[in-house]
Structures are given as structure tokens and as C-alpha cells.
Structure 1
Amino acid sequence: MRFVSIQQGVRRAVALADAEGALRGYWQGEPGYPGSLDAYVARGAGGLRDLAGLLAAGTRIDAAGATYLPVLSGEGRKIICVGLNYKDHAAESGYKSPDHPTLFVRFASSLVGHGAPIVRPSDSTQLDFEGELVAVIGKGGRRIPRERALDHVCAYSIFNDGSVRDVQHRTPQWTLGKNYDGTGAFGPQLVTADELPPGGAGLRIRTRLNGQVVQDASTSDLVFDVATLVRDISAAVTLEPGDILVTGTPSGVGAARKPPLWMKPGDVCEVEIEGLGILRNPIVDEASAAS
């Protein structure tokens, strides 16, 4: 099952996407409109099955002129990101491969959807790309054992963890440089776990900047796979349905290149993950986004 959230004017829609990308569902205000996708994810895999049944009975939705929203709003939920989770990326960044997951958080205010602009802030030109696999928690818990961890994941998606590098590295804590408004692209689809290999393993992940491949790896190269992340994070933090785990980026980031390759206004960045589609975003500067 594949879900999208879109907006046209002031109206929102939740829709089910078929294999060809055609959408079926309801616009806000129509009889049968089920409410937000977030609410059904909060009910776990069963909630998503219920939602699919409702949307399948809806009408065909023409997405022309519509704006894709982040597939989940992240509001009221944890967005937990993993750094240095591919060995080659840790090496290119000047770190040894970590013995434990390196975690930071994102805030919902930083998220944008597929097709929406990623915003380069006015106080930096060092806006970097990071294509990443997202795992979404569908069943909460604390101290979840690794052998049952994937039972707690209901869906997957794609993330571009736009990073303001000079701000990120001003201090040992990365949070500020990872949370500028309009830098975390998320989507375009929320894909249920049964559509993918267990843990989203073995999927090709590629990032392209203006059509040039800049990252190319497999999700099997994760230092800490999804099951391990669920185990290790839940040892400290109670995970809740709707929590979002952004699992880390492979090598090839702009900061590690000589000379560095930063995203700039006019660029288009795409993250493609096998089985999940393509997340595409243009880059604009902050002044343009505000006008």
C-alpha cells in the first residue's frame, strides 16, 4: 500500500497510489474524507489497512497543480535521525565508524514535501544533500528486542536531510544545522512494510544533483540496520506510533568533495530509493522563499 498527502489551494487530500502512480481518495470537505494520514499511522499497520480500504472506495484524484505535503507532518511525534550510519560516509567525514548509533533530532517545522523547494538560508552557502531511508514506527514500545523490532515498523519513505554544514559543525551538537526551516524533504509516498524486503534492506539508494549521480549505495550498507536502530533507541526512549527514524546517508555528500559541492538556488536534487520512488526538490534561497 502506498499513500500520499497533497494540497490544492486550501484543500488537502489523502490518497492511495497504485503501481502506475494514479491516485484514489478524498479531498478535504468531501463525504468520506478520512482525515490526516498521521492519525491512521498512529494506529499502526491495522490503521493503514483500514485507511487503504476507505481510500480505495474514493474517487480518482487529479494531482495536477497540487502540492505534495510531507507524507507525515511529524507534529507531536519524534523525528530521530542517525548520523555516520554508512562506513564510507563516516570515513569521508573524518570520523571512525561509530560503535553505537549517532543520533540527533529534527523538528516538524523543518519538513517540506516532494516538489516543494528546499530553502538555502541567508546566513550560509553550505547547504548539503543527504539521501536517506526513513522507517516509520507503527507499534510503540520500550526496550524492544532486535528479533521483534521490525514488527514495530509499519512503513518506509525517503528523506533528503538538507544540512547547513558550517552551522552544523560550529559545535559538537549538530541539531541547529540540521533544522533550518525548509531543509528536510520527506516523501513522496508512504509505503507499507509488506511492499519491501524486511527492514528495507538491499535497496539501491541514489542521490542526483542536476541529473548527476552524487550518491549511490545500498541500504544493506547501513552500519546499524533498522532492527538494530529500533532496539538501541527504544532502550532509552519509548517509541510511539508515528515516530520517524531517518536512518543515515551514504558517502558522496557535497562537504566531502574537493572542491565542495553545495546545493544552490536553481539546482534540483533527487533522491531515489528502489521500491519507494523519487523525492525531487528544487533549491531556492531564503529571500525567494519568503517573497
Structure 2
Amino acid sequence: MRLANLAGRLVLVDGDRALDVERSSGGTFSSDPQSVFERWDEFCAWAQAAHVADGERFDPRRLGSPVPSPRQLFAVGLNYRDHVDEVGLAHDVPVVFTKYVSSIAGPYEDIPHPGGEVDWEVELVAVIGRGGHGIREEDAWSHVAGLTIGQDISERITQHVGVTPQFSLGKSFPKFAPMGPVLVTPDELANPDDVALETVVNGETVQSSRTSLMTSSVSRLIVQLSSITTLLPGDAIFTGTPSGVGLGMVPPRYLNVGDELVTRIEGVGELRNRIVAGQAVA
């Protein structure tokens, strides 16, 4: 099953066709893409009988983030060994922070450049369908509604200013969390623990890896997070990035106004965002 946010309305997607959920369900389910996670099991039962191929053709440019307003947005740093090595930050366990919800953007939106050193980070995003606290590893995937693509855009000067790094602030400028283009349920993938992901800047592949190389897998991250905090339906988890970020290049390389940033994950699709002029960092 593939879900999407089409101009603010929840749809099921099959190829180039989209079925409007509210209209097709006779109002049983809301048009709000975020609200579906609160009734995830009930929705899945209904969706199994839906005829998505009967939907209307749609323009992908009208797609927004399939998770537009999660109550909690977790982000994980240093979750690929090669990325740990390239940035020189020795750490035995992934670092957890947040990207503020106001930074969420759609898969084709422009990203304003705030000045400074703006970097890219392709990430698999896991979205929670069934919430919980103290989730066991063998049950973790049953709590996942689906997977989508995320770009953890980062302004490195803000991120590293001061004695204590400001990860959340440096990664939460407007549109710094594009997601999409769809939310794919895990059963759609041959192995949801092993999918290819890449970042392409102006036609050049700068990141290329597989999620099987994560230090903590999706299920393990759910265990780690839920051992402390309660995961809520609709929460999004950015699961970390592999090597190839601009900060790790010699010399470092960053995004400029006019650059095209393409982010792909196998079985999910791609984001295509252009960097545009924005308000300068204070």
C-alpha cells in the first residue's frame, strides 16, 4: 500500500492514479493525511478492499509530505559507521535529537538557503502506526505504518556553534525536512531492512549506500526510543545518514542557491528539491 498527501488530502496511490480516501470511504476516514495513523488498523482493513486503480490521474508536483504534522519527529545521528568515520565523531551509539515540525516540506518544494554551510543527508524515515512504550524488538516492525524518504538538511555553522552542538536548531530552518513522495507499507518491499539510498547534487551522486549498514536497524531504534519515551501514532523517525555528506569532503562542499538536490530510496521513489535564496542566518 502506498499513501500520499495530494494537495492536503489523503490518497492511496497506484502508479499515476490516486484514490481520495475521504470520498471513497464515504467520510469514514478524514481527508487529513496525519489523522489516518490514529486509526491505522481500521484503515488498513478498509484499504485492502479499495480499488486504487479506479482513482484519478494526478500531478506528482502537488504531493506534500505524507507525514505533515507528527507530534514527535525523532532524528538519529551517527548511525552508519562510515559516516562516523568521515566526520570524526567517535560514538558507540546513535545520537538522538529532533527536527522541529515547522521544518517539514514536501518532496518537490524549494528549500530556502539561510546562508552558512548547508549540507545534505539522505535518510530512511520510519513512521509509527501503532504507538507504544517498551516495544520489544520482535514486535517493532508491527508498529511501523510505513517508510518514506527524508532529507536531513543541515546548516553546519549553527549546528556546531558553542560548546554543546545545536543539532536540532541547525537542522530545523524552514523546509529543512523534506519528506515523501509517498509512504510505503513494509510489505511492499522485498526486505525493508535492506534498501538502497542515495543523494544526487546537480547530477552527481554524492551518497550511495544501503540501510542494512545502519548500526541500529529500524526495529532496534524503535526499541531504544520506546524504552524511554512513548511513541505515538504518526511519529516520524529519521534513521540516520551514510557517508558522503559535504562536511566530510576534502575540502568540504556545501549547497548553493540554484543547486538541485535529488534524494532516492529504492522502492519508495525520489525527492527533487531546488535550493533558492532565503533569509540569512541571524
So what's the TM-score if we normalise by structure 1? 0.88
1:167 aligns with 2:171: no
Two-structure CA RMSD over aligned residues (Å): 2.3
1:263 counterpart (239, 255, 269): 255
DSSP 3-state at the match of 2:167? coil
Structure 1 spans left out of the alignment, 5+ residues: none
Q: Distance in 1 between matches of 2:193 and 2:21?
A: 33
- Give, in angstroms, the shift of residue 58 of structure 1: 6.4
Q: Distance in 2 between matches of 1:48 and 1:116?
A: 29
- Give, in angstroms, the shift of residue 118 of structure 1: 1.5
- Give, in angstroms, the shift of residue 209 of structure 1: 0.5
Q: Distance in 2 between matches of 1:35 and 1:105?
A: 27
Q: Aligned residues: percent identity? A: 35
Q: Distance in 1 between matches of 2:44 and 2:83?
A: 34
Q: Which residue of structure 2 aligns with residue 277 of structure 1?
A: 269
- Give, in angstroms, the shift of residue 49 of structure 1: 4.2
Q: Which residue of structure 1 aligns with residue 133 of structure 2?
A: 142
Contact 1:125 1:264 in 2 (8 A): no
Q: Which residue of structure 2 aligns with residue 131 of structure 1?
A: 122
Q: Which residue of structure 2 aligns with residue 5 of structure 1?
A: 5
1:69 counterpart (61, 64, 67): 64
| Matched AA of 2:20 | G
Q: Which residue of structure 2 aligns with residue 39 of structure 1?
A: 35
Deviations 1:173-203 (A, max 9, x none): 31110111111111000111211245x2111
Structure 2 spans left out of the alignment, 5+ residues: none
- 1:45-56 paired onto structure 2 within 5 Å: 45-51=41-47, 53=49, 56=52
Deviations 1:61-117 (A, max 9, x none): 4327x5321111124x11000001000001111112x32231001121101001101
Q: Which residue of structure 2 aligns with residue 228 of structure 1?
A: 220
So what's the TM-score if we normalise by structure 2? 0.90
Instruction: Call closer, same or farther: CA 1:31–1:63 in 2, change over 3 Å.
Output: farther
1:105 aligns with 2:101: no
Q: Distance in 2 between matches of 1:142 and 1:106?
A: 21
DSSP 3-state at the match of 2:208? strand
- Give, in angstroms, the shift of residue 42 of structure 1: 2.2
Q: Distance in 1 between matches of 2:190 and 2:223?
A: 19
DSSP 3-state at the match of 1:149? helix
- 1:132-211 paired onto structure 2 within 5 Å: 132-170=123-161, 171-197=164-190, 200-211=192-203
Q: Distance in 1 between matches of 2:120 and 2:254?
A: 8
DSSP 3-state at the match of 1:182? coil
| Matched AA of 1:134 | V
- Give, in angstroms, the shift of residue 206 of structure 1: 0.8
Aligned pair count? 276
Q: Distance in 2 between matches of 1:256 and 1:186?
A: 24
| Matched AA of 1:63 | D
